[in-house]
Amino acid sequence: MHTDPNCIFCKIAAGQIPARKVYEDDELIAFHDIAPWAPVHILIVPREHIGSMQEVTEAHQALLGKMMVLSTRLMRELGVTNGYRHVVNTGADGGQEVPHLHLHVMGGPRPWNKG
């Protein structure tokens, strides 16, 4: 599995930087966003360093599906009962701030309206 020693998400996945984890296994790690846009805002991150959706291939289909299924489970476990939003920012023009593929999952009242 490819990792990037300079990537903050690779460092979180390796346990080198602390995070408020809500899930981890051999492929994925999920943790609370440090600058949340909603009452519940988690990131689901592959342990493998994938720079963005632009680097995704057919070989990543199962991983991407697992991320989506996991998001539903985690929102339920975190008490989100009235809907949530999925966001994947891709590249600079797409608003991606960390060059490592990650899925934002935001729940609670109107999570897209940052106060």
102 is catalytic: yes
Q: How far apart are the first and last CA of the chain?
A: 39
SS3 8: helix
> Catalytic residue among 41, 49, 100, 102, which?
102
Q: Where are the beta strands (DSSP E) in 9-115?
A: 21-24, 28-32, 40-46, 84-87, 103-107
* Residues annotated catalytic, as ranges: 102
